[in-house]
Structure 1
Amino acid sequence: MLRETRHDQLLRILREEGVLPVTEIARRLEISEATARRDVADLSGAGQLRRVYGGAVARDSAERPFAEEEVDDLAAKNAVAQHASGTVEDGEVVLLDIGTTTLQLARRLHGRKITVVTSNLAVYEELRGDPEVTLILLGGQVRPNYHSLVGFLTESSLRELYVDRLFLGTSGVLPDGRVLDTTDIEVPVKRAMMSSARQVVLLATAKKFPGTGSARICGPSEIDMLVTGRSSDPATLAVFREAEVEVVQV
């Protein structure tokens, strides 16, 4: 295959799938890993993709508005959220991450005698009028486009908390189980959330395998439960099971 043809194919795959490790690039293009690394280096130098640890990611585009993300893949998000809501017990303190799947989860927590802690402004708007739910909104800098709170104030607030479980969102999960996010500024908040929780539950529809993102949140060993779709990549799910993660497909 000609070098230019390989480059065109690689860029097309990354636009469709967001991020790929070098091993997968080599397999898809039927080339050696050494050639795949050279292609990634060449395209990165030309500004056509971004190199990340062990692979490559499509150049970042403008972040999609929250309203667009909310209706995308909605049936799958609803299925994941429905199961997740059933794991919450009365009296628990739960932490809801940013994102649209956690918003669907919040919509299933109305009328529950629980405490919800969140940096998700959409979750706050959903639950603020519910007399049964004790709602704690973390402080921080507002990211208007994605309805979230970030920064050192958010992270500082989380250090003062210990919750029963965190429902964590993601923009993508690599074949080796690395959990990603598309926005670097959100990652420290997510990690602080994980440190504040007794149990970490990752909510990821099948579309998130591999999804998008270049910023690493964590590895599979840092997750306790994964709630995902029935069509999620079996090989990636096997990585989570090998890390002793409870994997639930809905």
Structure 2
Amino acid sequence: MARPSGRAARIEALKKLCASGTILHIAEAAQELNTSEITIRRDLGDGENGILCLGGYIMSANENGERYSLSHAQGTNTQAKTQVARRAAALVEPEDTIFVDCGSTLQYLAASLPQNANVTVVTQAMNIAEMVSRLDGVTLILLAGIYHPESGSFSSDTALGMLREINITKGFFSAAGIHESEGVTCFHFHEVSVKRAAMARSQRRFLVSDASKWGKLRPATFAQLNEFETWIGQPETE
């Protein structure tokens, strides 16, 4: 590609490169535009051009956390989400204390818990809490705080303090993207501290996500794939 002249031309070129949700490493973008990474970072510094630079990657602003909607996600890819969540639910045993992460996939795990399961469920997610609260024989610990409607979840320092006092036998974690080099990612930065604290308190950690998340990169990295005992939903390899 010929080197675009001027900041506006470079930004327009970046928008074309990031069309249809494409996410580029800044080094790739610099090579495509025949310019420097420093120039690109400077061009995108004000964050007002419809293009973002997050964690060394260039993406459309429409790919940031504000685009994610829990209500929309609840109606997409439901069959695959149901299958992986039920596989996760089969791992739950009486007297377990489980962490159930936010998002649309793990609501199917909550829906699979039977009455009188004799488990404790720890969650920061409103949709999970609503399902679990209807079950007899299931103790609910809701990590409350500031409510984030886009993800249907809470975050607060109080929630982190609560997590430090809870012994979790099994943690079930969701992801919006699983990337080969950048790890396990989510849309919202406010989710990261709760996920990390829950992982630290979990004796066993499971990633519960369907195969469509593989290769996708979202703004916030919260873990590496090798931090989980297994990825439930991992795509089969030939």
TM-score, normalised on structure 1? 0.78
**Closer/same/farther in 2, CA of residues 35 and 79 from structure 1, 3 Å limit:** farther
Paired residues in the alignment total 226
Counterpart position of 1:78: 82
Bigger drift between 58-67 and 42-51 goes to 42-51
Deviations along 1:78-109, one digit per CA (max 9) or x if unpaired, are: 11101111111222111001111111111111
**Closer/same/farther in 2, CA of residues 34 and 178 from structure 1, 3 Å limit:** farther
Bigger drift between 143-152 and 97-106 goes to 143-152
The percentage of counterpart residues that share the same residue type is: 23
CA contact (8 A) 1:80 1:229 kept: no
Q: How many angstroms does 1:57 deviate by? A: 2.9
Q: How many angstroms does 1:42 deviate by? A: 6.8
Counterpart position of 2:18: 11
Residues 1:150 and 2:155 aligned together: yes
| DSSP-derived class of the 1:62 partner | helix
CA contact (8 A) 1:84 1:227 kept: yes
Q: Kindly indicate which of the two structures has a greater share of residues assigned to helix.
A: 1
Please, which runs of 5 or more residues in structure 1 have no aligned partner?
Answer: 236-250
Q: Which amino acid aligns with 1:44?
A: L
Please, which runs of 5 or more residues in structure 2 have no aligned partner?
Answer: 5-11
CA contact (8 A) 1:201 1:226 kept: yes
Bigger Rg, which one = 2
Quote the Cα distance in structure 1 between the aligned partners of 2:24 and 2:82. Answer: 27
Quote the Cα distance in structure 1 between the aligned partners of 2:136 and 2:149. Answer: 26
Q: How many angstroms does 1:202 deviate by? A: 0.9
Quote the Cα distance in structure 1 between the aligned partners of 2:207 and 2:129. Answer: 20
Quote the Cα distance in structure 1 between the aligned partners of 2:172 and 2:144. Answer: 18
Quote the Cα distance in structure 1 between the aligned partners of 2:170 and 2:25. Answer: 31
Quote the Cα distance in structure 2 between the aligned partners of 1:3 and 1:82. Answer: 51
